[in-house]
Amino acid sequence: MMIRSRIRAATGVLLVAALPAFAGDADPLPHRDDLSKQDRARVARVLVPPADPGAPEPYEDMPGGAATSRKRLNANAFSFPSANLSFSGQRDFALGNGLFEKFWVSSPASTRASDGLGPLYNARSCQGCHLKDGRGFPPDAGEDPVALFLRLSVPPGEADDRDRLESGADLVLPEPTYGTQFQTFAVPGLSAEGRLEIDYTQKPVRLDDGTEVMLRVPDYTIAELAYGPMQSDVMISPRVAPPMIGLGLLEAIHPGDILALADPHDADGDGISGRPSWLGKGGDDKRALGRFGWKASAPSVRAQSAGAFAGDIGISTPDVPRPHGDCTARQTACLDMPTGEQADLGESEAPDPVLELVDFYARNLAVPARRDARDPEVLAGKGVFADLGCNTCHNPKYVTSRAAAQPEHRFQLVWPYTDLLLHDMGEGLADHRPAGSANGREWRTPPLWGIGLTELVGGREAYLHDGRARTLEEAILWHGGEGQAARDGYAALVKEDRERLLRFLGSL
């Protein structure tokens, strides 16, 4: 089985096509309008969970299907292209890589195609936060926060504000002076918005066998505000940069498969609801399903990337034509600064094909093959993961849509371990800052593929939306709300089973 999967991956043949058809006449996946009835039956069969949750499953060591990277593992493990990319795709990937790493400079500059930074910004390149295409980390003592920033907004005041939020016209209402993001850097001649300080308080928790685990609770202080006070009821949400692998495959998951996992009113009574993140105005057919970001506030990699250019780096694109980035009308000195828009180079600071290439790059960073997927201890840990109900939210597998934008992402059996839905994760993780359809306690289930390589790629570990968890065990112990039962289940395990579960996560 392993050998066959390797040959197929190398030749780019779709893995699922080789599996036997499903017996019976009922249509098990009526929402899969991209598939023939015969394919639907085949796919449904592949997606059935194994009777023994600790049993090995075909192809699970290839979490990104034929796009999985089998390159040798080192600190560049997250930087390889989808293994099934064409030659022209590999060329575009290399061009996109250059743009992802590019340092933007302030205007005017002699390198005209690279200017336009800021005026306010959080980092000068995409790579500055998504370190080696992996996740960013909260700063160590004495470091400036870069890969962790604060999103800002204010609650609705007037009826008009409420309408804008309820209709979906706006995700959030910007803080009137500081906008939707707190920028801790500015180009020469302009003040940064202020400084962000992070302090941690230690919080011991005890597992059922008496073992003590120390969690750290972050506390954020906004200091040296350069543009006057913030509105007193400002809401802040700390966010650390997530890893960049497998994003095109997440985009290729059929929306119907995500909606089929939603249970907004917990009809099955398992304590876990799961709500889709709907974005934008209009009825069901006009709204977009959010998938990206810690609250699933972006519908596509391109939308998230254009948002990052504007909000994080201060670069305009065709999709977010704001050369002054997140400057607000009250920040007049910021609006007076020169921009990098030059008619002869294109309409925006990062015109297409720049945004297109960055989007292509971000959609094609490969998920590495799993290590030790057949190790008996890892398989036992996989069983524990299922027994504790972790896979209710961290949904193991999908077969991507045949209608996906990019051929390499179509009809692949993938193992991201996420439902891409929003869950109430309890008071401990709440940011109390609603965004779109996500309330102040909800977060999107993050994919777990590649999570075992975090330290190899980033040189350290930090998990959850603000990087507060220093180990996978701490991340689990922070689960509350809909995740409370799974967390309590973990705390009640004997040491050997805890280790098996952590080994399984480490093999992803």
- Residue 185 Cβ vs ligand HEC, minimum distance, rounded to whole Å: 9
Residue 117 and residue 187 in contact, taking contact as beta carbons nearer than 8 Å? yes
- CB 430 → ligand HEC: shortest distance, Å? 9
For residues 247 and 414, which CB has a smaller minimum distance to ligand HEC in the complex?
A: 247
| Residue 129 C-beta: closest distance to ligand HEC, Å | 3
Query: Min. distance of Cβ 34 from ligand HEC in angstroms?
Result: 23
**91-122 burial code (b ≥16 CB/10 A, e <16):** ebbebbbebbebebbbbeeeeeebbbbbbbbb
Of 128, 134, 97, 103, give the one whose Cα is nearest residue 117: 103
Smaller CB separation from ligand HEC, 402 or 433? 433
Between 73 and 491, CB nearer to ligand HEC = 491
Q: 182 vs 146, 250, 395, CA distance in Å? A: 11, 29, 34
Burial of 329 (0-12, 13-18, 19+ CB in 10 A): exposed
User: Hey, what are 214's tokens?
Assistant: 């120390």
Nearest to 305, CA basis, from 261, 362, 370: 362
- Which residue number, 186 or 362, has a Cβ lying nearer to ligand HEC? 362
Please tell me the distance from the alpha carbon of residue 429 to that of residue 88, in angstroms, as a whole number.
Answer: 43
CB of 294 to ligand HEC, least distance (A): 4
- Contact indicator for 354, 476 with CB cutoff of 8 Å: no
Closer CB to ligand HEC, residue 153 or residue 392?
A: 392
Query: Smallest Cα–Cα separation from 97: which of 118, 70, 126?
Result: 126
Q: How far apart are CA 244 and CA 2, in angstroms?
A: 27
Least distance (Å) between residue 267 CB and ligand HEC:
16
Is 367 or 475 the residue whose CB approaches ligand HEC more closely? Answer: 475
Considering beta carbons, is residue 144 or 344 the nearer one to ligand HEC? 144
Q: Which residue has the tokens 């201060």?
A: 314
Residue (129 or 289) nearer to ligand HEC, CB: 129
Least Cβ distance, residue 412 to ligand HEC (angstroms) = 18
Quote the least distance from Cβ 454 to ligand HEC, whole Å.
8
The token pair that represents 28 in the structure block:
């098990």
Alpha-carbon distances, residue 438 vs 25, 240, 406, 417 (angstroms) = 39, 18, 29, 20
Contacts 24+ apart (CB under 8 A), 341-345: 341/116, 341/316, 342/112, 345/112, 345/113
Binding residues (CB under 6 A) for ligand HEC: these are 122-123, 126, 128-130, 147, 149, 239-242, 247, 272, 292-295, 297, 301, 304-305, 308-309, 312-313, 358, 362, 385, 388-390, 392-394, 423, 425, 429, 443, 445-446, 451, 463-465, 472, 475-476, 479, 482-483, 486, 490, 505
- Closest contact distance (angstroms) between CB of 277 and ligand HEC is 11
Q: Which residue number, 165 or 244, has a Cβ lying nearer to ligand HEC? A: 244
Q: Please state, in angstroms and rounded to a whole number, the distance separating the CA atoms of residues 98 and 358.
A: 9
Tell me if 374 sits within 8 A of 56, measured CB to CB. yes
